[in-house]
Structure 1
C-alpha cells in the first residue's frame, strides 16, 4: 500500500491503520488565490534527473529560484542553491543516526528528525522555523503546512505530487516571514523517497 502513497516514505501512515482521523479543521481550510486573503505563489520542482534531488525550482514568471544538486561522486550530500549559485542549505544523508540538515541563517545543523519530528501518532510532522512551530499534515494528494497551537490553524503552504511532478504553493504571508527556503528544503526531504529519520 505504501507504493501508492508518496507521503508514506516520509513516515506518515496511509490512513488505513484504523486510528482516529485528523482534526477536521485541517481539511476544511480553503486554499485559493481567488479569496481576499494572501496571494498564492507556485514553485515547481522541474526537470528531475533522475529525481527531486537533482532538479531546478521554477517560480513565478517562469524564473529559476533554486537548484537542487545531489553532490557527486559520493551522493551523501544534497545542496540547495539560490538563483545566484550560492549554497543556502545542505542535506547530509546518513544511515545512522539519520539525515542531517542545515539552512544558512535559519536552521542550525541538526538531525532532520529534530527539525521535522513526527507527531506521537505519526500522522504529521512538526517544523520549527523563524521562531514558529508549524505542522506538515498529509491530506489526500497533498501535504499542507499549517500554523500550530492556534484555535484556527492558518494554511501557509501546500506540497502536491502529481505523477513525477512536485509543486509547492505558498502564501505571500509565509514568504514575507521567511519560510520559502524552509518549505523548499522540507519539500526536498519529504519527497526524496529516502529515509529522513
Structure 2
C-alpha cells in the first residue's frame, strides 16, 4: 500500500520545487496533536548539514565548532547507493535506492525497507521509528520536524528538532539525552531520508 510522505512537500519545497508546504495547510488530526510544543531547551547540541554538492546526497554534517562528524556520499558511478560515513571514514549507514528503498545502520538497524523503519501513521500525520526496541515519533510542528520518545502510553518527551534554512543548510538540534540514548546515527540517517525529496515508501 502506497503512503504519502507526510514530510515530502517540505523536502521538495526546500529543493526549489513548487510543492505546497505541509505547514501552510490545515494539519491532519493526530494522536500526537496534543504533544507539548517544546520551548527551546536550555542546552542543545546542534549539527548542520552543509556543503551540498549539489544536494543532501553529497554533503557533510558539522558540529558547532565546524568539526566534521559525518560525510554523506552518493558515488556518481553507483547512484543507487548513499553512504553515511563518520569522521573516521567508517561506514555508518547505507541507503539503497530502489522503488522501495532499503536502509541499514551499523550496529543499530539490520537492513530493511525504509517504509517499515519510518512507518507512516494511519492518518499520514507522523512517522514512527523503532531503535533498539524503543519507539520514537517524527512529527511535523510548524517549520520543523520534531522527534519525540514515547507514544506507547508513556509521556512524550521532546528529543530533537530538524529545520531547513534556505536550500543549503539543514539544522538538527538535539537535547543531550538523545546523544546518551545513542540516537545520533539514526537521527542523521532519518533526516537524510526524510529530506531526500524521494519516495521512501
TM-score of the superposed pair, with normalisation by structure 2: 0.84
* 1:84 aligned partner: 88
Deviations 1:10-40 (A, max 9, x none): xxx93636743664432523232x2xxxx31
- Please give the alpha-carbon distance, in whole angstroms, between the structure 2 residues aligned to 1:145 and 1:183: 9
Gapped runs of 5+ residues in structure 1?
A: none
* 2:148 aligned partner: 146
After TM superposition, the structure 1 = structure 2 runs for residues 155-170 of structure 1, keeping only pairs within 5 Å, are: 155-164=158-167, 165-170=169-174
**Secondary structure of 1:61 counterpart:** coil
* 2:40 aligned partner: 31
After TM superposition, the structure 1 = structure 2 runs for residues 102-117 of structure 1, keeping only pairs within 5 Å, are: 102-117=104-119
1:20 maps onto 2:26 in alignment: no
Gapped runs of 5+ residues in structure 2?
A: 1-5, 14-20
Deviations 1:34-82 (A, max 9, x none): 2xxxx31000001111111100100132210000001221300000000
Give the root-mean-square deviation of aligned CA atoms: 2.2
* 2:65 aligned partner: 61
TM-score of the superposed pair, with normalisation by structure 1: 0.86
- Please give the alpha-carbon distance, in whole angstroms, between the structure 2 residues aligned to 1:173 and 1:145: 12
Once the two structures are TM-superposed, the CA of residue 150 in structure 1 deviates from its matched residue by 4.3
Once the two structures are TM-superposed, the CA of residue 6 in structure 1 deviates from its matched residue by 1.1
Aligned residues, how many? Answer: 185
Q: 1:8 to 1:75 in 2, by over 3 A?
A: closer
